[in-house]
């Protein structure tokens, strides 16, 4: 039972599910309203969840737990920690915005479309709330289906290829994960995730289990070189599909690393840290450069997502508090910012029906409100301090610096390249002269569009100026993971030594200071 | 509430009001709000500064809000006030307030004024956050915040392709420096377990002599940290290698150049080195690097400045060169002199830029000095203000007396300290003296080309347009006769007008600063005893011994700046007033050297060839050959080919009833899993 006296997590899953069923049988206008009401109701529940989440010192790690056995070891086990809480909050925050983004732009089969979205919300909350291994797996994989439908039915011209590629990639990885899960359930005799997080698998077996999970999470992230489904999926998906894909679905990979790979297989994680670092370093440089040469707005942002997610993976495998908290903050920040950027693309796509960057230009003149918000999200995307993404990138990179200065250096070049491709994009869309008459005639943001973008903008600033609201709930949980991994944590490359005892005999104040600071543990390394 | 909070946050509030209010608010209210806020901030800043000059104020830190913590990492929003901050406060708020006022006149015909004033105030806020930072992260916030404002203001006329290109260049080149700054913060945290500036500075001496692994090698810890942070300083302060954005930044409106790219933002790097001076003191290598980079920039920019013809670009290179002086002053340990030059430079360089703006305003947006001439009588106030600025930058003054313009006190102090410090300081001294010769030459060249000689206005397209437009409107009836009448005297019939009062007042106020700042404040900044007392209330590592030594340098050292200043003036006079054919002869004779300088040592061409073009080419290669040609070809597409060959699946996928298929899959999967569980 939980603090609220009713099973709030199940309710948060049931509300959109009920909405989805209603939508299937409703007319187009009704379906829109049902979907909006259902997602807003979930947002209210999400707020309730956040406000009742116990953040005080020494609180229980798992809260709002529910348990109902189904059969065998399989149970309806729900419960969240701070990490899941923030990701659920991100999900319920983005969903009403997605419904609004689809309000006018989706004209065919509206009921089914809204149903697919609501069904997806149910599954996403399920992924973050599940405490049973197989329950997680079902939600994790089933999330593919509504997304697959959204791209395949309501997508662009080349939607079949994109949805097929999306499905194929993500499914192949998950088959391996399923096998690993079956083995784990038998070995540990439990499918309870908290139990498994404390279970010590044999390090030799860990290697294989880690790789099996990695196959699935790496595709979901996506990590280079299994990222090529993402640009195609984004380009073909309708706006709201892109928002949810970039905003929440990509976060499932990172969540998987935090929930499974790191705490369950700490030795294997340490062993493979350099694989992750290597792929991530390639991703930062490679995909940033590819983003620079794109002429399709959505492709550009999709490639930038891959680069940002690489910062997440380096942060996660830094094996320290700053790295993991930073990775979480990048995920939350990127969820908001890339979602908002896709919405910004959608706003002008709805008006001109093209994603070609060159067809726009000078939008600052006829769409000043749009230009302002787009600038805010562009700056957040390049990680300007005071916005959400800076907090995450800074912590993640600081964390990885303690593991390896090389990785930190290469990953930090992302801030240069990121500025280059984003500002180049912004310049081509909003600056310059109004060279295209049709683009110059586009009206500024409608009230509906403002309602979508302004809350995200405010959240981005809030996360940048006072990230404590988001870091506080997850702090203890991240500490627990770091403590769990500590015995396996590899040593960093800094290997700081103390100041030489006889460094400066002439300067007496220098001498004193050296004695003061040369502690026994560092002095030992000096020799 | 303490006044520091008002000083810092009023400009932010004003920026938000003017920016969001924009057109709905209207030009005049937006200008009143922003300018008013800045004058209030300025009025509150001076008492703080004077209380430190008087020597009865202690450093203080005003907390604002918790910001970011993770493990032992902790950073708060807080406002630190000490002597060093106080200097920056008056520089930033005074110049900013005057620039706001000046912009009332300069931007009068601009349709988009609230946006401009909002950006200016936003910039001021970010700069104030930078100078009041008590930890490295807040300094970085201000650092990037001023970068954002600079980007927005350089690109203010965003319709011009050159302006938006320059804006991106400024941001991206600065980011290269920021990479160093960020790694510096990471390293500092790793070594000291804190990013609080006072704590770091207290612990820094204890780390001298320690080593750290960095990029696979072992280095001296403090050298690595200082050099990483210094890379950041080089970006923001446009030092050699990362300077290429500054001349292009002149695409922004002239008041912006005065505020951001002369007086305040570009000096942030110098401020940072002075703020962290106890840290730099622990690494001799880092100090040497700072000295040499500063000296090299000082020389490079001065040489380029002698050949430029755009009035703003000459001043931009001059700024770059003066920043070099400040850096090598810091590098030899004369932080007081570096800060003093920063202080005086803010006044006279803002003055020169605003004066140039007044000239451009009078000359109908013409910026090329080749089409100026004889403006002395047309715009007398501007002329006298520019002269005051030139006297200050060239360091006119009599050594050994208290007679001298602002730059005389600060620049001579830098050169004498460099000489007194010895080692790399001697090199810096020699370079600095030579650069002073060039400074005097290009500064007087600017004055002579603009205000003396015969008018050469007829060559300017801008002037031709202006004259033509005026005729179109007023002189319709008898313009044929009129046209014939003029044109021989080089004026094209154009009549420059002196700028309005709201532009002249800032010029006069800054002129006073350029004349008096040195005399009034040298005691506090660079006097061995006075300076020690003043800087005690700050983190600046004031070196009393060095300042004493700098007073005892040989006579020829003291007089050499004066001698080169007079030489530069004489050469400029000979070449641009007495024998105006000399420059053409010189360029014809030494055309290789001239082209090299005119093209700014070919830095832009070099960077284009080795960074910009390859980045795009490699990006295209990765995209077409990597993603599409390799990963997709052998990955999903190869798989797809197999499946298609296999049969009906793809047709089924395209049937439109995907969801039934998918649902079946989901159910099958779930069934398989649950079956597996119950079996075990």
Residue B674: burial class (beta carbons within 10 Å; 0-12, 13-18, 19+)? middle
Q: Test A165 with B159 for CB contact under 8 angstroms.
A: no
State pLDDT tens for residues A319-332.
Answer: 999 999 999 999 99
- Please state, for a pLDDT cut of 70, what percent of chain B lies above it: 91
pLDDT of residue A159: 78
pLDDT band at A142 (very low <50, low <70, confident <90, very high): confident
Q: Test A517 with B203 for CB contact under 8 angstroms.
A: yes
Tokens of B576: 């641009």
**Probe site for chain A from B148, B185, B224, B623 (most A CB atoms < 10 A):** B623
Q: Give chain A positions within 8 Å (CB) of B627.
A: 228, 231, 290
**Nearest-angstrom CA–CA distance, B570 and B440:** 9
Q: Which residue has the tokens 């890339």?
A: A338
Distance in Å, alpha carbon of A196 to nearest chain B alpha carbon: 16
* pLDDT value at B276 more than 90: yes
* pLDDT value at A509 more than 50: no
Q: Are B59 and B81 in contact (CB under 8 A)?
A: yes
Q: Give chain B positions within 8 Å (CB) of A518.
A: 206
Distance in Å, alpha carbon of A195 to nearest chain B alpha carbon: 17
**Nearest-angstrom CA–CA distance, B537 and B189:** 25
Residue of A nearest to B622 (CA): A290
pTM: 0.91
* pLDDT value at B169 more than 90: yes
Q: Test B627 with A471 for CB contact under 8 angstroms.
A: no
Over range B567-591, report the average pLDDT: 90
Residues 641-670 of B with CB under 8 A from A: 650, 653-654, 656, 658-659, 662-663, 665-666, 669-670
Task: Give the nearest partner residue to B164 out of A72, A427, A514, using CB atoms.
Answer: A427
Residues 375-394 of A with CB under 8 A from B: 379, 384-386, 390-391, 394
Whether A493 and chain B come into contact, CB under 8 Å, resolves to yes
* pLDDT value at B648 more than 80: no
Tokens of B657: 């009833």
pLDDT of residue A138: 87
State pLDDT tens for residues A410-455.
Answer: 999 999 999 999 999 999 999 988 888 888 889 999 999 999 999 9
Over range B392-402, report the average pLDDT: 88
**Nearest-angstrom CA–CA distance, A97 and B516:** 60
Over range B512-516, report the average pLDDT: 92
Q: Are A394 and A431 in contact (CB under 8 A)?
A: no
Residue B282 CA from chain centroid, whole number: 27
Residues 217-276 of A with CB under 8 A from B: 225-226, 228-229, 231
DSSP B333-349: T-HHHHHHHHHHHHHHH
Question: Closest by alpha carbon to B163, among B248, B103, B224?
Answer: B248
Q: Test A364 with B209 for CB contact under 8 angstroms.
A: no
Residue of B nearest to A179 (CA): B673
Q: Are A140 and A127 in contact (CB under 8 A)?
A: yes
Task: Give the nearest partner residue to B207 out of A289, A430, A517, using CB atoms.
Answer: A517
Whether A138 and chain B come into contact, CB under 8 Å, resolves to yes
pLDDT of residue B675: 59
Distance in Å, alpha carbon of A295 to nearest chain B alpha carbon: 11
**Nearest-angstrom CA–CA distance, A60 and A446:** 45
User: Mean pLDDT in chain A?
Assistant: 87
Q: Give chain A positions within 8 Å (CB) of B676.
A: 182
Residue of A nearest to B618 (CA): A289
pLDDT of residue A117: 92
* pLDDT value at A408 more than 90: yes
- Please state, for a pLDDT cut of 90, what percent of chain A lies above it: 57
R_g of chain B, CA atoms, integer Å = 29
**Nearest-angstrom CA–CA distance, B28 and B23:** 10
Q: How far apart are the first and last CA of chain B?
A: 69
Q: Test B183 with A412 for CB contact under 8 angstroms.
A: yes
How many CA atoms lie within 13 Å of A10's alpha carbon, on the beta-carbon side? 14
Return all residues near B636 (Cβ < 8 A) that are at least 6 apart.
A164, A165, A168, A169, A228, A229
Residues 118-137 of B with CB under 8 A from A: 137
**Nearest-angstrom CA–CA distance, A119 and B662:** 14
More confident residue, A410 or A155: A410
pLDDT of residue A518: 38
pLDDT of residue B670: 66
> Residue A314: helix, strand or coil by DSSP?
helix
pLDDT of residue B192: 92
User: Mean pLDDT in chain B?
Assistant: 88
Return all residues near B218 (Cβ < 8 A) that are at least 6 apart.
A495, B211, B212
Other CB atoms within 10 A of residue A451 CB: 13
More confident residue, B475 or A313: A313
Q: Test B677 with A405 for CB contact under 8 angstroms.
A: no
State pLDDT tens for residues B411-453.
Answer: 999 999 999 998 899 999 999 999 999 999 999 999 999 999 8
Q: Test B70 with A148 for CB contact under 8 angstroms.
A: no
Query: What's the DSSP call for residue A66?
Result: E
Q: Test B179 with A412 for CB contact under 8 angstroms.
A: yes
* pLDDT value at B629 more than 80: no
Q: Test A427 with B216 for CB contact under 8 angstroms.
A: no
Distance in Å, alpha carbon of A190 to nearest chain B alpha carbon: 10
Backbone angles phi, psi at B76, to 5 degrees: -120, 155
Over range A17-42, report the average pLDDT: 91
pLDDT band at B649 (very low <50, low <70, confident <90, very high): low
pLDDT band at B625 (very low <50, low <70, confident <90, very high): confident
pLDDT of residue B12: 95
Tokens of B138: 């807040």
Distance in Å, alpha carbon of B18 to nearest chain A alpha carbon: 13
Whether A490 and chain B come into contact, CB under 8 Å, resolves to no
**Nearest-angstrom CA–CA distance, B510 and B406:** 11
Whether B50 and chain A come into contact, CB under 8 Å, resolves to no
pLDDT of residue B579: 87
Q: Which residue has the tokens 């960020």?
A: B182
Residue B269 to residues B112, B116, B275, B326, B334: CA-CA distances in angstroms?
32, 25, 10, 10, 15
Whole-complex ipTM = 0.90
Whether A524 and chain B come into contact, CB under 8 Å, resolves to no
pLDDT of residue B677: 60
Q: Give chain A positions within 8 Å (CB) of B187.
A: 401, 405, 494
Q: Are A87 and A100 in contact (CB under 8 A)?
A: no
Q: Test B653 with A433 for CB contact under 8 angstroms.
A: no
DSSP B514-529: HHHHHHHHHHHHT-HH
* pLDDT value at A523 more than 50: no
- Please state, for a pLDDT cut of 70, what percent of chain A lies above it: 94
Whether A508 and chain B come into contact, CB under 8 Å, resolves to no
pLDDT of residue B653: 52
State pLDDT tens for residues B108-154.
Answer: 888 889 999 999 999 999 999 999 999 999 999 999 999 999 999 99
Q: Give chain B positions within 8 Å (CB) of A397.
A: 182, 186
Task: Give the nearest partner residue to A386 out of B141, B221, B622, using CB atoms.
Answer: B141
Backbone angles phi, psi at A457, to 5 degrees: -60, -45
User: Which of A227-236, A370-379, B604-613 ranks highest by mean pLDDT?
Assistant: A370-379
Backbone angles phi, psi at A441, to 5 degrees: -90, 0
* pLDDT value at A521 more than 50: no
Residue of B nearest to A160 (CA): B654
Tokens of B585: 């002869």
**Probe site for chain B from A398, A432, A490 (most B CB atoms < 10 A):** A398
Residues 161-190 of B with CB under 8 A from A: 161, 164-165, 167-168, 171-172, 175-176, 178-179, 182-183, 185-187, 189-190
State pLDDT tens for residues A170-190.
Answer: 777 777 888 888 888 888 888
pLDDT of residue B666: 66
pLDDT band at B650 (very low <50, low <70, confident <90, very high): low
Return all residues near B612 (Cβ < 8 A) that are at least 6 apart.
none
Least trusted range by pLDDT, from A100-104, A488-492, B590-594: A488-492
User: What DSSP element (H or E) covers B448?
Assistant: helix B424-451
pLDDT band at A169 (very low <50, low <70, confident <90, very high): confident
Q: Test B183 with A405 for CB contact under 8 angstroms.
A: yes
**Nearest-angstrom CA–CA distance, A404 and A277:** 10
Backbone angles phi, psi at B70, to 5 degrees: -155, 115
Distance in Å, alpha carbon of A173 to nearest chain B alpha carbon: 13
Q: Test A495 with B212 for CB contact under 8 angstroms.
A: yes
Phi-psi region of B253 (alpha: psi -120 to 50; beta: other; left: phi over 0): beta
Over range A283-311, report the average pLDDT: 93
Residues linked to residue A75 through DSSP beta bridges, in sequence order = A69
pLDDT of residue A164: 75
Return all residues near A466 (Cβ < 8 A) that are at least 6 apart.
B65, B66, B67
Q: Are A497 and B210 in contact (CB under 8 A)?
A: yes
Q: Are A357 and A297 in contact (CB under 8 A)?
A: yes
Q: Give chain A positions within 8 Å (CB) of B211.
A: 496-497
Other CB atoms within 10 A of residue B572 CB: 22
Q: Give chain B positions within 8 Å (CB) of A71.
A: 674, 678
> Residue B61: helix, strand or coil by DSSP?
strand
Peptide bond into B354 cis (omega under 30): no
**Nearest-angstrom CA–CA distance, B146 and B120:** 10
pLDDT band at A122 (very low <50, low <70, confident <90, very high): very high
Question: Closest by alpha carbon to A194, among A25, A376, A92, A62?
Answer: A62
Residue A11 CA from chain centroid, whole number: 24
């Amino acid at each position: 039972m939980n603090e609220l006296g009713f099973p709030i997590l199940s309710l948060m899953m049931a509300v959109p599910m009920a909405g989805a069923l209603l939508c299937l049988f409703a007319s187009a206008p009704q379906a829109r309203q049902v979907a909006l009401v259902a997602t807003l109701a979930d947002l209210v529940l999400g707020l309730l969840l956040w406000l009742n989440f116990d953040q005080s010192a020494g609180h229980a790690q798992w809260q709002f737990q529910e348990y109902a056995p189904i059969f065998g070891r399989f149970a309806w086990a729900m419960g969240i920690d701070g990490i899941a809480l923030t990701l659920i909050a991100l999900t319920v925050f983005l969903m009403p915005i997605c419904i609004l983004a689809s309000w006018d732009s989706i004209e065919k089969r509206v009921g089914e479309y809204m149903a697919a979205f609501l069904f997806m919300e149910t599954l996403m909350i399920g992924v973050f709330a599940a405490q049973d291994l197989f329950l997680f797996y079902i939600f994790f994989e089933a999330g593919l289906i509504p997304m697959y439908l959204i791209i395949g039915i309501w997508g662009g011209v080349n939607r079949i290829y994109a949805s097929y590629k999306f499905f194929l990639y993500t499914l192949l990885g998950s088959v391996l994960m399923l096998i690993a899960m079956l083995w784990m359930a038998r070995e540990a005799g439990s499918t309870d995730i908290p139990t498994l997080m404390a279970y010590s698998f044999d390090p030799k077996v860990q290697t294989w289990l880690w790789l099996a999970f990695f196959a699935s999470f790496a595709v979901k992230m996506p990590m280079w070189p299994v990222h090529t489904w993402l640009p195609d999926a984004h380009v073909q998906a309708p706006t709201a599909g892109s928002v949810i894909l970039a905003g929440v679905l990509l976060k499932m990979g990172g969540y998987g690393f935090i929930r499974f790979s790191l705490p369950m297989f700490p030795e294997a994680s340490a062993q493979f840290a350099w694989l992750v670092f290597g792929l991530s370093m390639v991703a930062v440089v490679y995909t940033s450069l590819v983003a620079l040469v794109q002429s399709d707005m959505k492709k550009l942002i999709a490639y930038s997502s891959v680069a940002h997610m690489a910062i997440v993976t380096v942060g996660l495998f830094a094996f320290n508090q700053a790295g993991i908290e930073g990775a979480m903050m990048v995920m939350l920040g990127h969820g908001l910012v890339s979602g908002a950027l896709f919405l910004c693309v959608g706003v002008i796509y709805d008006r001109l029906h093209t994603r070609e960057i060159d067809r726009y230009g000078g939008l600052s003149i006829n769409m000043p409100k749009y230009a302002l918000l787009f600038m805010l999200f562009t700056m957040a995307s390049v990680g300007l301090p005071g916005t959400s993404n800076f907090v995450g990138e800074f912590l993640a990179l600081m964390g990885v610096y303690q593991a390896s200065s090389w990785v930190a250096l290469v990953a930090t070049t992302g801030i240069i390249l990121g500025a280059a491709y984003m500002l180049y994009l912004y310049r081509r869309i909003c600056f310059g002269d109004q060279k295209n008459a049709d683009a110059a005639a586009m009206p500024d943001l409608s009230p509906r569009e403002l309602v979508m973008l302004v809350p995200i903008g405010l959240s981005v600033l809030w996360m940048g100026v006072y990230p404590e609201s988001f870091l506080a709930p997850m702090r203890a949980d991240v500490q627990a993971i770091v403590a769990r991994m500590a015995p396996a944590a590899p040593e960093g490359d800094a290997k700081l030594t103390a100041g030489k005892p006889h460094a400066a005999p002439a300067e007496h104040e220098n001498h004193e200071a050296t004695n003061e600071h040369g502690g026994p543990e560092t002095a030992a390394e000096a020799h | 509430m303490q006044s520091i909070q008002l000083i810092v946050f009023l400009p932010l509030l004003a920026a938000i009001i003017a920016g969001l209010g924009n057109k709905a608010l209207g030009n005049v209210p937006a200008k009143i709000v922003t300018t008013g806020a800045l004058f209030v901030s300025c009025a509150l800043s001076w008492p703080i500064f004077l209380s430190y000059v008087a020597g009865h104020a202690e450093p203080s830190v005003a907390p604002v809000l918790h910001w970011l913590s993770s493990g032992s990492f902790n950073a708060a929003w807080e406002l630190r006030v000490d002597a060093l901050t106080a200097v920056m406060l008056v520089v930033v708020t005074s110049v900013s307030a005057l620039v706001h006022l000046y912009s009332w006149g300069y931007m009068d015909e601009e349709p988009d004024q609230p946006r401009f004033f909002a950006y200016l105030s936003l910039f001021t806020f970010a700069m104030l956050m930078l100078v009041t930072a008590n930890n490295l992260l807040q300094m970085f916030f201000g650092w990037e915040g001023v970068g954002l404002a600079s980007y927005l203001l350089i690109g203010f006329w965003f319709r011009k392709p050159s302006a938006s290109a320059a804006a991106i260049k400024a941001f991206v080149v600065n980011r290269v420096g920021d990479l160093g700054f960020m790694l510096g913060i990471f390293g500092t945290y790793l070594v000291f377990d804190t990013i609080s500036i006072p704590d770091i500075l207290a612990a820094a001496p204890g780390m001298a002599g320690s080593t750290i692994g960095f990029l696979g090698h072992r280095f001296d810890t403090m050298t690595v940290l200082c050099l990483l942070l210094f890379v950041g300083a080089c970006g923001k302060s446009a030092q050699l290698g990362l300077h290429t954005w500054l001349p292009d930044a002149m695409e922004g409106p002239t008041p912006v150049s005065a505020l951001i790219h002369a007086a305040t933002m570009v000096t942030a790097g110098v401020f940072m080195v002075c703020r962290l001076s106890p840290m730099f003191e622990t690494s001799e290598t880092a100090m040497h690097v700072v000295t040499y980079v500063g000296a090299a920039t000082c020389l490079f920019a001065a040489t380029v400045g002698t050949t430029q013809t755009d009035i703003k670009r000459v001043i931009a290179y001059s700024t770059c060169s003066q920043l070099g002086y400040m850096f090598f002053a810091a590098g030899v340990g004369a932080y007081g002199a570096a800060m003093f030059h920063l202080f005086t430079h803010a006044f006279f360089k803002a003055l020169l830029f605003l004066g140039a703006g007044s000239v451009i305003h009078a000359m109908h947006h013409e910026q090329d000095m080749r089409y100026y001439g004889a403006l002395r009588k047309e715009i007398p106030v501007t002329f006298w203000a520019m002269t005051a600025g030139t006297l200050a930058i060239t360091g006119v003054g009599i050594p050994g007396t208290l007679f001298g313009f602002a730059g005389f006190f600060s620049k001579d102090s830098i050169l004498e300290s460099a000489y007194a410090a010895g080692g790399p300081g001697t090199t810096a001294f020699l370079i600095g003296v030579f650069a002073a010769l060039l400074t005097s030459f290009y500064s007087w060249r600017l004055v002579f080309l603009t205000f003396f000689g015969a008018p050469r206005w007829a060559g300017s397209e801008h002037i031709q347009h202006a004259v033509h437009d005026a005729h179109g409107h007023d002189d319709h009836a008898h313009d044929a006769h009129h046209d014939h009448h003029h044109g021989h005297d080089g004026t094209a019939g154009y009549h420059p007008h002196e700028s309005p009062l709201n532009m002249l007042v800032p010029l006069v106020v800054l002129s006073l600063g350029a004349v008096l700042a040195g005399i009034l404040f040298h005691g506090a900044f660079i006097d061995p005893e006075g300076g020690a007392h003043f800087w005690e209330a700050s983190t600046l590592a004031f070196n009393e011994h060095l300042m004493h030594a700098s007073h005892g340098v040989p006579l020829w050292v003291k007089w050499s700046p004066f001698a080169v200043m007079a030489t530069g003036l004489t050469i400029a006079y000979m070449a641009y007033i007495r024998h105006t054919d000399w420059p053409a002869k010189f360029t014809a004779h030494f055309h290789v050297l001239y082209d090299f300088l005119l093209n700014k040592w070919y830095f832009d061409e070099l960077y284009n060839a080795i960074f910009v073009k390859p980045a795009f080419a490699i990006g295209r290669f990765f995209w077409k050959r990597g993603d599409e040609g390799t990963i997709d070809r052998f990955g999903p597409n190869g798989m797809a080919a197999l499946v298609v060959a296999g049969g009906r699946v793809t047709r089924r996928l395209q049937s439109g009833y995907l969801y039934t298929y998918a649902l079946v899959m989901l159910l099958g999967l779930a069934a398989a899993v649950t079956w597996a569980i119950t079996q075990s």
